[in-house]
Structure 1
Amino acid sequence: MKIAFLVAPEGVEQVELTEPWRAVAEAGGTPRLVSTDSGKVQGYNHLDKADTFPVDQTVAEATVDEYDGLVLPGGVANPDFLRMDAKAVAFTKGFFDAGKPVAAICHGPWTLVEADVVRGRTLTSWPSLRTDIRNAGGTWVDEQVKVCTGGPNTLVTSRKPDDLKAFCAAALEAFGAT
């Protein structure tokens, strides 16, 4: 199981990257960091800079075919940047077109809204995205984790870092690791 973690060069909520990454690795999978730029990405603990992480591949180099699933970590700036990058949006949409599982947490669903893949789906997120998701044709729920199989693929979403345990378990199941 090879899983892409798509993040912007800055603004990813560190724990929303590192915990799912660890879960994929501990399940015997291969997590890979994909970003819009090469080099390193800057993690954040809320608004404070945290660690940096080496990019494995740029979104321009990556293809959906080489991955079994996608994780979209949150942080406010991270998905806001990704949704403005046409290649990142197309990469995300490609997982839906290919019927591959996607997991997004916190503000991560902003990229899904931009990719126009939430229509007819039920998902959760950080509460401030509720209106964006509804305006994009999705149904927003306030749940720790929501697994939506009513579309071309399995979509796993969660609200916030406190939901990471449930999010990681549901994502691993969607990726076929359990």
Structure 2
Amino acid sequence: MARIATLITDMFEDMEFTSPKEALETHGHTVVTIDKEGSKAVRGKQGEARVEIEYGISDVNPEDFDALFIPGGFSPDLLRDDDRVVAFAKSFMNAMKPVFAICHGPQLLITARAIEGRDITGYKSIRVDLENAGAKFHDQEVVVCQKQLVTSRTPQDLHAFNREIVNLLEEKGL
């Protein structure tokens, strides 16, 4: 079963963390929460979810994880000003490890300069940013690129996002 690094901080979109986490854990995977600093709690922007942060970014190594999950909301934008977080995300893309990003999640991958030439989707307000970063934007509920990168647009797409992240991990034998 896969060990999945989750980059998350305050103001994440509640359902975009809780729903995929539940889907992954139901299939036996472990979801590990990581922020700039560890040993604290963060809250979703809807006020519904409270998440205990297990590790600070300085305490983790990308090689210790099988996949990366980036929930949406304002969290990805708040995280991408930290070079350590950006480098962590970029290492998964460079290593072709599975990466799951929903809504505003791809903002972190834009800053990592890791999506040029990739098929992708995301929240409509970041479409131009994705295109300017060289990605090929598709207005679809879920896009799977090169059997590595799974992206979705909004909480309404969670059923498809959850299905594809679980399928990809299974396909990879994780």
TM-score range, shorter chain: over 0.9
Q: Deviations over 1:132-176 (max 9, x none)?
A: 001001111100000000xxx610000000000100111112222
Alignment equivalent of 1:158, drawn from 119, 143, 152: 152
The answer (yes or no) to whether the contact 2:12–2:43 under 8 Å persists in 1 is yes
Whole-angstrom distance in 1 between the partners of 2:135 and 2:89 = 17
Structure 1: 5+ residue stretches without partners: none
State the AA in 1 paired with 2:53.
V
Sequence identity, in percent? 36
User: 1:80 and 2:77 equivalent?
Assistant: yes
User: 1:167 and 2:161 equivalent?
Assistant: yes
The answer (yes or no) to whether the contact 2:18–2:49 under 8 Å persists in 1 is no
TM-score, normalised with respect to structure 2: 0.94
State the AA in 2 paired with 1:117.
A
In structure 2, the partner of 1:4 is: 5
Whole-angstrom distance in 2 between the partners of 1:156 and 1:51 = 23
Whole-angstrom distance in 1 between the partners of 2:80 and 2:100 = 16
Matched residue count: 170
* C-alpha RMSD of the superposition: 1.3
State the AA in 2 paired with 1:122.
D
The answer (yes or no) to whether the contact 1:5–1:71 under 8 Å persists in 2 is yes
The answer (yes or no) to whether the contact 1:118–1:136 under 8 Å persists in 2 is yes
Structure 2: 5+ residue stretches without partners: none
Whole-angstrom distance in 1 between the partners of 2:164 and 2:49 = 26
Alignment equivalent of 2:55, drawn from 39, 54, 57: 57
Q: Which runs of 4+ in 1 moved over 4 A?
A: none
In structure 2, the partner of 1:99 is: 96
TM-score, normalised with respect to structure 1: 0.91
State the AA in 2 paired with 1:165.
H
Alignment equivalent of 2:65, drawn from 53, 64, 67: 67
Whole-angstrom distance in 2 between the partners of 1:6 and 1:83 = 10
Whole-angstrom distance in 2 between the partners of 1:176 and 1:4 = 17
In structure 1, the partner of 2:125 is: 128
The answer (yes or no) to whether the contact 1:68–1:175 under 8 Å persists in 2 is no
Whole-angstrom distance in 1 between the partners of 2:49 and 2:137 = 32
The answer (yes or no) to whether the contact 1:59–1:88 under 8 Å persists in 2 is yes
1:44 shift after superposition: 2.0
1:4 shift after superposition: 1.1
In structure 1, the partner of 2:29 is: 29
Give 1 or 2: higher strand fraction. 1
1:92 shift after superposition: 0.3
